[in-house]
Structure 1
């Protein structure tokens, strides 16, 4: 009796292993995320905004650095003539101003990174939602992302929908351009 049950179990196992599960054809595609972000109008505008903002802030620091350098040159010339006490006091003052300038530069860089990081995070979330909506609308089962954090090791070029997605998100952006709230307030004051 045990042998019959054992044989029946083995037979069922073999039969079930031979059955192939029904597979569904999947519609898949991928987006080259690096290329997409290079071509996405809003991302380019965001990059340009912070590049310009960094240049403006950098010029302010550059002027302060030039002034400090000129004072340091003057200090070296006057140190002997004005005496050791004056030289020590003025040297400490200049050293403190140099340190403050370095702190200001670090603060500026941190501020730019925080501001741009927040806006970039918002932009990425928005793009992910748009891609998800695009995938649903077009009937895709999967859309993979490639780029710095590649999630696809192989894909046929026919699955690359990057240009379609870039066009779609640029069209959406053009239809509803975002303006910087600070720029709006500044324009209202003028």
Structure 2
């Protein structure tokens, strides 16, 4: 009979002594070193380079056309000069508008893919925590969500390795 309270006390102490499994990841490093993010950056770097070439080509063509107009304008009447000048300015405006829309579309598409990537990383970290018995995984970043954490609690490298392995296996 005297052993029952001792057993209950031991059980209560065992339960109360269980500690939460807590770790943190460095968000900045995780995102910076994630291979899918690197691939995404390279994809958009190429798109921006292609866009820049298109922009430069259109700009060069317009400059040549403007120079040709200047050379031929000397022999034209004032009204003909004004008419061709207006047509040239309208063409310039349309070209600029088209290029601006294309650049905005690239920027918007890039932002959407980055947002999707961040959500994917958050979901992965959450699943990683659940699958590995963590009670909490905190996020360390430049804003300072974690002001101090023991180095042994930093699981950034583990999570990054798993994240990259997961991504590479789906390629």
The alignment's TM-score, normalised by the length of structure 2, stands at 0.82
For structure 1, list consecutive stretches of 5 or more residues without a partner in the other structure: 1-21, 178-190
- The corresponding residue for 2:165 is 171
Deviates more, 1:165-174 or 1:56-65: 56-65
Please, what TM-score do these two structures have when normalized by structure 1?
0.74
**Deviation of 1:149 (Å):** 4.7
Equivalent residue in structure 1 for 2:133, among 124, 131, 139:
139
Give the distance between the partners of 1:148 and 1:92, measured in 2 at CA: 52
Counterpart residue number, 1:121: 115
Report what 1:10 is aligned to.
none
Q: 1:66, 1:148 → 2: CA distance?
A: 43
Query: Residue 81 of structure 1 aligns to a residue in which SS?
Result: coil
Is it true that 1:53 corresponds to 2:47 in the alignment? yes
Conservation of the 8 A alpha-carbon contact between 1:79 and 1:87: yes
Give the total of aligned pairs. 156
Q: CA deviation at 1:152?
A: 1.9
CA RMSD of superposed structures (Å): 1.8
Work out the CA distance in 2 between the residues paired with 1:81 and 1:148: 64
After superposition, residues 52-71 of structure 1 pair within 5 angstroms as: 52-71=46-65
Partner of 1:181: none
Conserved 8 A contact 2:138-2:146: yes
Inter-CA distance 100–146: structure 2 relative to 1 (3 Å threshold): farther
Q: Give the conservation status (yes or no) of the 8 Å contact 1:30–1:160.
A: yes
